[in-house]
Amino acid sequence: MIYPRRKSMTIRTTCAALAAFLIGSTALATNAFADNLTMWVRASGTNAAAHLVDLWNSNHSDKIELTTIPDTQMVTKLATGVQAKEVPDLVSFDLIYMPDFMRAGFLEDLTAELKADPNFASVAKAYIDIATYQGKLYGAGFTPDVSILVWNKDLFKQAGLDPDKPPRTIGEIHEDAKKIRALGPDVYGFYFSGACPGCNIFTTSPMMVAAGSKILPANGNDDALTGDGVKQVLETFKEMWSEGLIPKNAQADSGANFSSIFKSGKIGIQGTGGFLLAEIKHDVPNMNFGVTFLPGVKEGQVSSFVGGDVVAIPKGSKHLAIAKAFIAWELTDEAQLEGLAKNNILPSRPALADNKYFAADPRVVVTAKAIGVGYVPWVYHFADMVNSDSSPWINMLQRAIFDGDVDGAITEARQKMKDIASE
Amino acid sequence: MRARRSRQSQGWLFIGPALLFVAVFVLVPLGQLVITSLTDRSLLGGGRFVGFENYLRIWRDASFWRALAFTAKYTIILTPILMGLGYALALLTLDNTPLKRLTRTIVFLPVIIGLSSSSLLWFWLLDEQVGLFNKLLVDLHLLKEPIVWFVTADLAFWAVVISITWKVVGFGMVLFVSGIQSINPDIIEAAIMDGASYWSRARRVILPLTRRILLLTTLVSAIGSMLAFDQFYIMTSGAPRGQTFTAVYWIYQNSFVSFKLGYGSALSVVLTLIILVFSALQIALTMRSEAT
């Protein structure tokens, strides 16, 4: 059998065309972005980061291009990026991954620059602690967030509660939620995203911490879930769930409704993050709501989870000097006030909490102050212990609240967290 | 002899690019996967050779076996639904009338949507509060009140099955239509002349003559289901409590959430072998039934 010559010609032509296309498109891509800095930001930090980056771009000749990475893919992207030497010049990510990234050697050492920077000295201690590894500094607070408790003042009023008196203990949350639930079949007293590990370490764990508990072990010899706070909070949540004070879809909510449901105006009380303030003002400007600290078991006990993003420079950044200049710039009064505070985002320098932009809204000041009462765990394997979809943390919450086995859930989680910490 | 050799080398030349492609993009990564599976490498770097330790650990990893059993259940239930429905749709829309062609197009449309997009679409369609699917069922009086689809493993399972059926059934249908249309019309005509009814034609003539395409489609569909990930990642997140983790999801969890790349690689090797064995078994069984 003779093979027709035309066919092999066609194959050759196709191959050549394909090769030309590939080479062409690579060249195009390289040229187009050569003069710009690239910055990755996780999805939930995009809004805040964009304000800062826009401000920087408006008065600097070196432009930064922001790329949003889905929250759950940030670790993977950065880890594979560093190993493949395909990294952005700057990266803004969930501060909780700092210990893992610093230990793995992914980030540029910024000790000299930051220690010499007068603005850095006034950055919130939590951000300095989480970015310190073996005495060296690897990042700075970028777009802070902190957990708070919000309550719907209109619903409080309708339920006969004092709209200006938020619950000051977990017990009061329970009592207030009962009264609000009585308002109607589609009005609920309380909400939490029952299948979202991250949402709950952010909003539920501070209630336990406020009551004197410690959640995560730093290593295999350290204890997990200590004290009575864990049990007391879980018991209250369990009761609220079994009494129907929480919407049924909370059990399956893996975070999709975390920020949207309170805005519907059908929820009385919810633990959330400072980010919600800007969202509410934008989406439902007429909503009448209040902000307070997340309470513990007794009056006066308060806490929060200091979260948000840190900014760092991945090893392999092609514009190291400009990237460092950006980090120094983002700590200046200009960036903190005009980039963040002006847009209802908290500055990472608490001293700037009292500013002209926040003065109009005491709720933002409360949120800014929450950073001062908050905690952030410096642990490795945070994803394994907390953020993973099968983590001991989320399993404990679900087993305790939805199955009702509080003691069994805590015992199991305690052991599993210790096992992970020993790895 | 010489002519044969030259033809042989010509043949090699032709399949050369394909072989090179397979070598670079399949064999090399596969080799790397096996090597990584023998180390305790972390996603964050580092790692040392640990022999078969990862494989011994898989043996004791109850979560993996549970995920594998869940994946098998998913495959066993979904494949007949997709094949049966696809074949029925193919028979119903066989002729090239405008209406049937339009029907085929509509059924096929979801196939061209990305799996992630369709999963996200269904995630919100099935939402308890804003989802249209619940509203439809309530309005039709099939449900008394909206249900939370992702609250139990069983409901979540069926939610995914419904979404995937909608998404993929058109693919089988199109393959079956082309398979049935390629049957020699004389055979069908002969069957009609012999007085065969529609059902006996479909069962005794069309079905046996499309057995090969049926096998191929079943195989592709079953392998696809064994490798299911996106739909569960987006719609269930493995919830409740990891009961809807599929095998690939568990590999993802270990490799990219827990950073255990070495262990994740070992899990991948095991899953590849399992799929290989089942595919071989399926082909062998069908070939034997064809021979008899």
Q: What is the pLDDT of residues B246-271, one digit of tens each?
A: 999 999 999 988 889 999 999 999 99
Between B4 and B75, name the one with better pLDDT.
B75
Q: Do A254 and B128 touch (CB under 8 A)?
A: no
CB nearest to A388's CB, from B128, B150, B258: B258
pLDDT tier at B29, thresholds 50, 70, 90: very high
| A158 and A120 within one domain | no
Residue A8 has pLDDT above 70, yes or no: no
Residue A56: partners with Cβ closer than 8 Å, 6 or more residues away: A64, A326, A329, A330, A335, A339
Q: How far apart are CA A12 and CA A6, in angstroms?
A: 10
Judged by CB atoms closer than 8 Å, whether chains meet at A195 and B17 is answered as: no
Confidence grade of residue A10 (pLDDT, cut at 50, 70, 90): very low
In a domain, A401, yes or no: yes
For the cut 60, the answer to whether the pLDDT of residue A22 exceeds it is no
The total domain count for chain A is 2
Check whether residue A110 and residue A246 sit in a common domain: no
Same domain, A132 and A160: no
* Chain B closest-CA separation from residue A11 CA (Å): 9
pLDDT of residue A19: 44
User: pLDDT digit string (tens) for B34-57?
Assistant: 999 999 998 888 889 999 999 999
- Integer Cα distance of B191 and A76 in angstroms: 60
Are A367 and A391 found together in one domain? no
**Residue B170: what are its φ and ψ, rounded to 5°?**
-65, -25
Task: Please indicate, yes or no, whether residues A289 and A176 belong to a single structural domain of this protein.
Answer: yes
**Positive or negative, the Cα torsion across B168, B171, B177, B182?**
negative
pLDDT tens per residue across span A249-299: 899 888 888 988 999 999 999 999 988 988 898 899 999 999 999 999 999
Q: DSSP character for A40?
A: E
Q: Which residues does chain A have within 8 Å of residue B257's beta carbon, measured at their own beta carbons? A: 75, 383-384, 387-389
Maximal CA-CA distance, chain A: 93
Mean pLDDT, chain A, rounded, equals 88
Task: Select from A8, A76, A389 the Cβ nearest to the Cβ of B238.
Answer: A389
| Residue A200, pLDDT above cutoff 90 | yes
Nearest to A182 by CA among A163, A205, A207, A155: A155
A17 touches chain B (CB under 8 A): no
Identify the pLDDT of residue A15.
41
Subunit contact A3:B14, Cβ cutoff 8 A: yes
Write down the ipTM of this complex. 0.75
Residue A26: inside a domain: no
Residues of chain A with Cβ-Cβ distance to B150 below 8 Å are: 195, 252, 254
Among A182-186, A356-360, B147-151, B216-220, which range has the highest average pLDDT? Answer: A182-186
Q: Which of B220, B227, B229, B123 is nearest to A195 (CA)?
A: B123
Chain B residues close to A398, C-beta within 8 Å: 240-241
Residue of A nearest to B235 (CA): A254
**What does pTM read for this prediction?**
0.81
Q: What's the pLDDT at B65? A: 95
A266, B8, B205 from B16: Cα distances, Å: 65, 12, 41
Say which DSSP state B29 is in: H
With residue A54 as reference, give the H or E element that holds it: helix A46-59
Q: Nearest CA to A149 among A296, A317, A339, A322? A: A296
Residue A3 lies in a domain: no
B-contacting residues in A 230-249 (Cβ below 8 Å)? 247-249
| B153 at interface of A, judged by CB pairs closer than 8 A | no
Domain around A397: 146-305+378-422
B14 touches chain A (CB under 8 A): yes
Task: Give the pLDDT score at A83.
Answer: 82
Q: Is A2 on the interface with B (CB under 8 A)?
A: no
CATH code of the domain covering residue A313: 3.40.190.10
Q: What does DSSP say about strands A374-375 and A64-69: parallel, antiparallel, or unpaired?
A: unpaired
Residues on chain B touching A251 (C-beta within 8 angstroms) = 148, 151, 240
Tell me the chain A residues in contact with residue B154 when contact means C-beta distances shorter than 8 Å: none
Question: For residue range A158-189, what is the model confidence (pLDDT) as tens digits?
Answer: 999 999 999 999 999 999 999 999 999 999 99
* Chain B residue nearest residue A252, CA to CA: B151
Q: Which residues of A touch B240 (CB under 8 A)?
A: 195, 251-252, 398
> What pLDDT score does B289 carry?
66
| Contact residues, chain B, for A80 at CB < 8 Å | 43
The per-residue pLDDT for A79 is: 85
Q: What is the pLDDT of residue A345?
A: 85
Interface test with B, best of A390, A394, A395, A419 (most B CBs within 10 A): A390
Residue A326 sits in the same domain as residue A366: yes
Residue A20 lies in a domain: no
Q: Residue A34 — very low, low, confident or very high, per pLDDT cuts 50/70/90?
A: very low
Of B146 and B286, the structure prediction assigns the larger pLDDT to B146
Between chains, do B242 and A389 touch, taking CB under 8 Å as contact? yes
Q: How close does chain B come to A417, measured CA to CA in Å? A: 13
Q: Examine residue A82 and state whether it is found in any structural domain, yes or no.
A: yes
What residues in A contact B10, CB-CB < 8 Å? 3
Is A32 a residue whose pLDDT tops 60? Answer: no
A383 interaction partners in chain B (CB closer than 8 Å): 257-259
Kindly state the tokens that stand for B77: 């239930």
Domain B40-291 listed as CATH 2.40.160.40: no
Closest chain B C-alpha to A312 CA, distance in angstroms: 16
Whether A13 is covered by a domain: the verdict is: no
3-state DSSP call for residue A190?
A: strand
8 Å CB contact of B259 and A383: yes
Whether A18 shows a pLDDT value over 50: the answer reads no
Q: Where is the domain boundary, A375, A390, A410?
A: A375
Q: B128 touching A, CB under 8 A?
A: yes
CB pairs under 8 A between A and B: 86
Q: Which residue in A10, A389, A412 has the most chain B C-beta atoms within 10 A of its own C-beta, making it the best mutation to test that interface?
A: A389
Interatomic CA distance for residues B284 and B276, integer angstroms = 12
Q: What percent of chain B has pLDDT over 70?
A: 98
A128-155: pLDDT as tens digits: 989 999 999 999 999 888 999 999 999 9
pLDDT at residue A33, as a whole number: 44
Pair (A408, A260) in one structural domain: yes
Residues A89 and A41 in one domain: yes
Hey, is the C-beta of B143 within 8 angstroms of any chain A C-beta? no
Same domain as A258, residue A172? yes
Q: How far apart are CA A36 and CA A416, in angstroms?
A: 45
**B264 interfaces chain A, CB cutoff of 8 Å:** no
Check B258 against A381: CB less than 8 A apart.
yes
* Beta carbons of B258 and A384 less than 8 Å apart: yes
Residue A79 near chain B (CB below 8 Å): yes
C-alpha to C-alpha distances, A261 to A145, A246, A253, A295, B265, nearest whole angstrom = 19, 12, 11, 21, 40
| Helical residues (DSSP H) of B195-252, grouped into ranges | 198-201, 207-209, 211-226, 230-235, 247-252
